[in-house]
Amino acid sequence: MAGQLTQEEERKSTESLELPNLSDTRSGIENYHDKELFRLAFENANIGMCMVDLQGKLSKVNAEMSNIFGYSIEELEKMNVNDIAHPDFNSVSPLFIRNASDGLVSHTIFEKRYIHKNGDEVICIVTSSSVVDENRNIICFISHVQDVTAKIKAEKKLKEQNDELHKLNAEKDKFFSIIAHDLKSPFNSIVGFSELLVQSIAEKKYDEPSEYADIIMKSSRRAMDLLTNLMEWSMSHTGRMKFNPEQFELIDLIEQVELLFSEIARQKSISIRKKLPAHIPLRADKSMIGAVLRNLISNAIKFTQSGGLIHVSASFKENELTVSVKDSGIGISDQRIAKLFHLDESVSTPGTENETGSGLGLILSKEFVEKHGGRIWVESESGGGTTFKFTIPILIPGQSLNG
């Protein structure tokens, strides 16, 4: 049948796999003296091999050692082991030589870092043994050197990926916790007081609806703020929010954001004052910077007592713009500051009128500022007010801002 071997073909195929009989030739290993056999094994080994004298000089190296470190055999045989060692590992080989010379050890295995001729770092597993004469005196040391750079780098990359995965899982858990807890609170208020509002109108108790309507409005606003941040955070982390820098006037954007909060600030008798240059041209992603300003001003109102002040200012320094939002509110403890910009640790603190929040706005602000190459930080103390500051690089002519 097609595809099957005949018995004769199968026999020939099997014979072709048989090892040649070297008993009648002069090419077997018994024809080599021990020294010559060692030389061939040493020179042809597919692992780095070297002989090192009692002073650490590389007296003999093989071709694979040359491949590992990029130097020729002739160059290596003029070097000391520490000539190719990473500076942080200069004591490893001398320590073994000293301990072996003192009779404390006869062999060792260790991981050591070297510097390739081209300047790259090479990570090796080294196995070293003493070579002794008939009187047990050390003649030299022989080492096997295995390049594990690629393996170590792959393990490091895998660890980094695992760490990132753990971080993403923590963010996901926090994200769902925010949705489950922080959205539930304002919607409970909206539903509950809506029912009371309907009941009051039905019973013609017209002195209560105004109060209920005010609570519904505030709860709706909190829910909307949270939904906006959740949407922006989700879009940012799924790659659906594109970084789109454009030229705009920052003063106009600040005034637009201030207008959004004018009624909330009025209800708490909070004044928003601005100290800005006459003109702040900026090339940045307008939506992202608007979100940062919105979150910082919203936070300032939330944590400022009735009758307080909020200052919004901006200043230039070299090629950088610094924007500051300062409140006269309740301040933030050092322990809370350390958790402000971390989604897996952030814990919401009620505002001066028990306003709720998720902490997500500050985390989102940090991401948006850093997309621009800027930074964001907070200066505060409990009871002493809080100042949030962020920077945006100012482009010089000819530069471009890429996402």
Q: In this structure, what CATH number is given to the domain that contains residue 346?
A: 3.30.565.10
Residue 20 pLDDT exceeds 50: no
Q: What whole-number percentage of the chain has pLDDT above 70?
A: 77
Q: Is the pLDDT of residue 350 over 60?
A: no
Same-domain check for residues 390 and 276: yes
H or E element in which residue 295 lies = helix 286-302
In angstroms, the CA 313 to CA 168 distance is: 35
Residue 22 falls within a domain, yes or no? no
227: in domain: no
Q: Does the structure show a pLDDT above 90 at 296?
A: yes
Averaged pLDDT, 221-235: 70
Query: Same structural domain for residues 247 and 392?
Result: yes
Distance CA 46, CA 62 (A): 9
pLDDT value for 5: 54
Average per-residue pLDDT in the chain? 81
Question: What mean pLDDT comes out for the span 175-179?
Answer: 63
Same domain, 280 and 402: yes
Domain boundary among 131, 147, 163: 147
- Once rounded to an integer, what is the mean pLDDT over residues 208-217? 73
Across 53-175, the runs of DSSP E, i.e. the strands, are 58-61, 107-115, 121-132, 138-147
Average pLDDT estimate for 63-82: 95
Range of the domain at 272: 242-403
DSSP annotation of 350 = -
Same-domain pairing of 366 and 262: yes
- The pLDDT value recorded for residue 22 is 43
Q: What are residue 369's phi and psi, to 5 degrees?
A: -65, -45
Residue 298: its H or E element: helix 286-302
CA-CA distance, 377 to 366, in Å (whole number)?
A: 9
Give residue-wise pLDDT tens across range 388-397.
999 999 864 4
Q: Dihedrals φ, ψ of 357, to 5°?
A: -165, 170
- How many domains, in total, are found in the chain? 2
- Whether residue 117 has pLDDT greater than 80: yes
Q: Is residue 14 part of a domain?
A: no
Is residue 186 assigned to a domain? no
Do residue 272 and residue 395 come from a single domain?
A: yes
| 255 shares a domain with 371 | yes
pLDDT at 363: 85
> Binning pLDDT at 50, 70 and 90, where does residue 17 land?
very low
Note whether residue 7 is domain-resident: no
Q: Is the model more confident about 233 or about 70?
A: 70
Instruction: Please indicate, yes or no, if residue 235 is contained in any of the structural domains.
Output: no
Q: Residue 317 corresponds to which amino acid?
A: K
Domain boundary residue, one of 147, 169, 197: 147
Domain identity same for 134 and 247: no
**Is the same domain home to 246 and 136?**
no
Are residues 252 and 372 located together in one domain of the fold?
A: yes
Sorting pLDDT into bands at 50, 70 and 90, what band is 9?
low
Domain-located, residue 154: no
For residues 169 and 158, give the distance between their C-alpha atoms in angstroms, rounded to a whole number.
16
**Does residue 80 lie in a domain region?**
yes
220 band by pLDDT with thresholds 50, 70 and 90:
confident
Per-residue model confidence (pLDDT) at position 8 = 61
Q: What is the pLDDT of residue 202?
A: 76
End position of a domain, from candidates 86, 114, 147: 147
Whether 26 has a pLDDT exceeding 80, the answer reads no
Q: Could you tell me the CATH number of the domain that includes residue 57?
A: 3.30.450.20
> Which pLDDT belongs to residue 32?
59
